[in-house]
Structure 1
Amino acid sequence: MSGLNPHCAGIDVSKGTLDIAISGTASQFAVPNDIDSFNQILKELKRNGTRLILMEATGGLESGVACYLQSEGFDVVVINPRQARDFARAMGYLAKTDRIDARVLLQMAEVINLHPEREKYIRPMPDTHRQLLAAMVVRRRQLTIMLTAERNRLHPSNPLSHRSIRSIIKALKDEIARIEGEMANHIAKNFSDISALLSAVKGVGAATVAVLLAEVPELGSLSRREISALIGVAPVNRDSGTMRGRRTIFGGRASVRTALYMSALVGTRHNPVIKEFYERLVAAGKPKKVALTACIRKLLTILNAMLKKNEAWDSSFHRHAS
């Protein structure tokens, strides 16, 4: 185990267990992934003087231990699993087990801890209200996917199945409406000021507001470049030597991009700022898909600036914003 940095830990998260590797110790240990085991982890981390803890995002399975450790004063970094896989390959790890993954996360934590911009990796975990809203947003998304699947089954199926399919469609619509009502009440109770600012922008509907509140707690606290990179709408260079590759967007939060895509699409028709921007790009020869992606980025940076300054929507101010 590397001794370069005695203040880090890597935690590999699964549904049933947590595998922990800590700097400066020769052994690793595993505990059940439940709140009763968190105290054991806490004791080991404190005993070894740990400060920075790294784990992968695993569909919410990491949220319990991450929030617990952050509340105890540790710096917690939750990364995209793709980043961990890329790091493991770069370090020459071919095999994959929970113990190996924990060791890889530890080594990655040590690298981050020595990074000059270490603090940018440490994001506060969502508070209880955002976690509850996030659960509702995820459930609405699941129901919408199921609804689309049932609709797609309706016409190719045997007519004898239509009654059953229509029954499921109705049930799914009713449940989506119920979830949306709960989301609206929760937002009105806990995020009314932010919601009012975001909803004032033409194209940004209730569903997009809910996604932004639940899944982008950083909105309003980052620079426009940082928020664009976080969501995955910042163009990435593909250059090598004298070759200049085509710039593309990469990574980020796909579910947020999907919500912003719909808002930007509506905005190209009904929001004067986005519409003017889109038409100017198309007139300059940009492909429509590229122009729409630029509109998503512009809309995101406008919303970020509004929350950062606590400033209401003003089309005359934002029209010429970059």
Structure 2
Amino acid sequence: MTCVGIDVAKDHLDLAIRFDSDKKRTRRFDNNSDGIDQLEEQLTQVEPERIVLEATGGYERPVSAALAAAGLPVAVVNPRQTRDFARATGRLAKTDEIDACVLALFAERIKPEVRPAPSADQEVFSALVARRRQLQKMKTAEENRLGTAPSEAVRSDIEEHLAFLEERLEETERQIEEAVENSPLWRQEEELLCSIPGVAEATAHVLMAELPELGEANRQEIAKLAGVAPLNRDSGKHRGERSTWGGRASVRKALYMAALSATQYNRKIREFYDRLVDRGKAKKTALVACMRKLLVIMNTMMKNGTHWNPEYQASSA
């Protein structure tokens, strides 16, 4: 079994290859188109079982996309997982080469799941949705500053910036809507998701962009990916409270807003929420349960290509 780890930096890529004999080979490539082509050529000759990279804020995307397009098995993992793995195996020193070797060992021992690389259109759509979120955050920050502006000059500058952000936000919204309109698949997904009372287009777009596994994974897997699966905290005779954590933060926030709306406007979700509260569940706990129920319903609808049906969905969730 041959496993590969690639430590990604802005300017270079550190490669580590582990062979069956426990031998290692390391090499550094430039993180540009020529370096990625050389890396791809070498790995195609090696034919690894699994290639692991960390998510590094976007620097990993060109290389992971190129390797996946070449038919190589690529897994992009959470850096927290690999850091915990390194500490657990006693590898406390840190250099780019050591990190690459740790990733190769992680690939061999943990065997993270290899998922298909997103298409170019999916990458663009995800970037647009992320950009909308960034613009909304900047707009909120400027609106907060406007209320405490110490002078008219500062107030005027903030108002001018707010007008610019509003313009860019409208343009980004237009590009998102245009991307959905030009894709029959995305139009169908948006229509299915928005047929659920309480789910708006903004929520649907976040799920379409940042949870592409929706409709492909089972109910347990999709809940873990979104960070709404209750996790055990038991040890010996102690039975701790189940709690949810991890997952994709942007997806979890979108589900929270959808669940909040659904408890007001979706009869089935409201009844479910009220039953939990009547049984003594904390309101926050009941709301998280509604988030998970909504997600499972969405997953079933996307898998079957069916619109919202409260009677059917209530039993399948």
Q: Give the structure 2 partner of residue 142 of structure 1.
A: 134
User: Within the alignment, does 1:271 sit opposite 2:266 as a pair?
Assistant: yes
CA apart distance, 1:201 = 1.1
Letter in 1 for 2:33: I
1:41 to 39, 42, 66: 39
CA apart distance, 1:42 = 1.8
Q: Give the structure 2 partner of residue 128 of structure 1.
A: 120
Native 8 Å contact 2:6 2:13 kept in 1: yes
Letter in 1 for 2:176: M
CA apart distance, 1:19 = 0.8
Q: Give the structure 1 partner of residue 209 of structure 2.
A: 214
Native 8 Å contact 2:129 2:206 kept in 1: yes
Letter in 2 for 1:59: G
The 1-side partners of 2:195 and 2:11 are apart by 44
The 2-side partners of 1:203 and 1:15 are apart by 41
List alignment gaps of at least 5 residues for structure 1. none
TM-score normalised by length of structure 2: 0.95
The 2-side partners of 1:82 and 1:165 are apart by 38
Letter in 2 for 1:263: A
User: Within the alignment, does 1:99 sit opposite 2:97 as a pair?
Assistant: yes
Q: Classify the secondary structure of the residue corresponding to 1:28.
A: strand
CA apart distance, 1:112 = 3.2
TM-score normalised by length of structure 1: 0.93
Q: How does 1:1-322 map to 2 (within 5 A)?
A: 5=1, 7-24=2-19, 25-113=23-111, 121-160=113-152, 161-190=154-183, 191-322=186-317
Deviates more, 1:295-304 or 1:156-165: 156-165
What RMSD, in angstroms, separates the aligned Cα atoms of the two structures? 1.3
List alignment gaps of at least 5 residues for structure 2. none
Would you identify which runs of 4 or more consecutive aligned residues in structure 1 move more than 3 Å? none
CA deviation map 1:28-70 (0-9, x unaligned): 1111212221221122213333231001111221111111111
Total equivalences in the alignment: 311
Native 8 Å contact 1:273 1:318 kept in 2: no
The 2-side partners of 1:129 and 1:83 are apart by 29
Q: Percent identity at matched positions?
A: 45
Q: Classify the secondary structure of the residue corresponding to 2:260.
A: helix
Letter in 2 for 1:103: C
Native 8 Å contact 1:10 1:54 kept in 2: yes
Q: Classify the secondary structure of the residue corresponding to 1:162.
A: helix
Native 8 Å contact 2:227 2:252 kept in 1: yes
Letter in 2 for 1:243: H
CA apart distance, 1:162 = 1.3
Structure 2 CA distance for partners of 1:49 and 1:319, relative to 1, 3 Å: closer
Letter in 1 for 2:170: A
The 2-side partners of 1:166 and 1:43 are apart by 53
The 1-side partners of 2:28 and 2:200 are apart by 44
